[in-house]
Structure 1
Amino acid sequence: MHSRVTVVACPHRLPRIEFGGGLAARRTGADTVHLVSAAATPLGGDVIEIRLIVEPGARLTLRSAAATVVLPGATTLTSHANWQIEAAGELYVDLEPTIVAADARHASVTTVHLDDHGSVRLRERVQIGRTGERQGFWSGTLRVDRNHRPLLRHRMDLGAGSLSDDVLHAPRATISEFRYPAACSDAESDPRATLLALAGGGTLSTRQDELLTT
């Protein structure tokens, strides 16, 4: 299944929304949109494409109504999610966790284009497996450019077969958060997270654990 969602935030107007496939979007506030599943997705072989455009002077908060459960398909294990973000205004993305169930494999790629006035906060939570499951795999890639110049290139793999998966330490959950603009002094204190200050401004916080916890 190929699912598509486009959200355009304009100043002094409600966000414009287009969607199709197994994923829908609903306006839940003046500048807030929730993603809602219209069908079981992603399954192996599915592709989800999400495009967010925040115009100068606009604000957008994107959330989800429930956790995303990734399942293997009948003929392939791997599904894909592609995010394209253009932020000239203020964007906050904080979805419910992604749960990679059974032996499913999921690859997510997020590309962000910022301009001088863009403000972005992206928070992502991922858990490998439901109760008793440890064989799933997730890969997350984040590319951020500011004014067409590279700001961040980051990739994390989690689960069975990842570089962090060994007999001594095999984390199955991660929480990451990218903020721009931000400084390390702005970040919430979490002794379990690694906080990286970016040379071009902004921060990236990452944390790995056995389970997602509050």
Structure 2
Amino acid sequence: MRSDVLLVARPGRGPRIECTGGLAARRTESDTVHLLSAAATPLGGDVISVRIIVEAGARLRVRTVAATLVLPGAGCTESHSTWDLEVDGELDVDPQPTVVAADARHHTSTRVRVGESGAARVRESVQIGRTGEHQGFWTSALHADVAGRPLLRHRVELGAGSVADDELGRPMACISELRYPEITFDGAGTLLELAGGGSLSTWQGQRLGG
């Protein structure tokens, strides 16, 4: 299944929402949109595409109503999601955790383009496996640019077959948060101030909330 979401925030009006496939979106406050599943997704073979545009002078918060459960499909274990974020106003993206269950393999790609006057917060949290599961795999690539200049190129992978897959101490959970232009905030794990402005916080461990 392919699912596409388009959110456009303009100053002085409610966000424009367009959805197809297994994802839906609902405006829950004047500047807030929640994403929710209209069907079981992502399963193996599924592709999810989310595009968000925040125009200058506009503000948008994006949330999810529940955690995302990634499952293998009948004939395929691999699924993909892409986030394309164009920010000239203020954008805050903080979905609930993604749980990669059984032997599912999920690939996430996020591209953030922030304008000169834009501000962005993008948070991602992932857990490999439900209780007793260790077979899943997840990878995420984050590309962030500000006014056409590279800000960050960041890649993380977890789970079976990842670079950190070690029986003695493999991480099974991750939280990553990018903020621009903020250079300090109370984030999880290690906080890194970026040369081009903004900051990145990363944490890895065994269990989210544990």
TM-score interval w.r.t. the shorter chain? over 0.9
User: Is residue 22 of structure 1 aligned with residue 18 of structure 2?
Assistant: no
RMSD in angstroms over aligned alpha carbons? 0.9
- Matched with 2:136 is 136
> SS of the counterpart of 1:56?
coil
- Return the letter of the residue paired with 2:153: R
> SS of the counterpart of 1:92?
strand
> SS of the counterpart of 2:175?
strand
User: Is residue 167 of structure 1 aligned with residue 167 of structure 2?
Assistant: yes
- Return the letter of the residue paired with 1:59: R
> SS of the counterpart of 1:110?
strand
- Matched with 2:148 is 148
Deviation at 1:164, TM superposition (A): 1.1
- Matched with 2:185 is 187
The Cα offsets for residues 90-122 of structure 1, whole Å up to 9 and x where unpaired, read as 000010100000000000000011110110001
Deviation at 1:187, TM superposition (A): 1.2
Instruction: Map 1:6-155 onto structure 2 (within 5 A).
Output: 6-155=6-155
Would you say how many aligned residue pairs link Structure 1 and Structure 2? 210
Deviation at 1:148, TM superposition (A): 1.2
Distance in 2, matches of 1:7 and 1:201, equals: 26
Q: TM-score w.r.t. structure 2 length?
A: 0.98
- Return the letter of the residue paired with 2:87: A
- Return the letter of the residue paired with 1:20: T
Q: TM-score w.r.t. structure 1 length?
A: 0.96
Distance in 2, matches of 1:133 and 1:168, equals: 16
- Return the letter of the residue paired with 2:135: Q
Cα contact 2:177–2:187 (8 A) shared by 1? no
User: Is residue 209 of structure 1 aligned with residue 188 of structure 2?
Assistant: no
Gaps of 5+ in 1: none
- Return the letter of the residue paired with 1:69: L
- Return the letter of the residue paired with 1:49: S
After the TM superposition, list the runs of 4 or more consecutive aligned residues in structure 1 that deviate by more than 4 angstroms: none
> SS of the counterpart of 1:28?
strand
Deviation at 1:147, TM superposition (A): 1.2
Q: Which moved more, 1:161-170 or 1:20-29?
A: 161-170
> SS of the counterpart of 2:18?
strand
Percent of pairs with identical residues? 60
Distance in 1, matches of 2:53 and 2:89, equals: 9
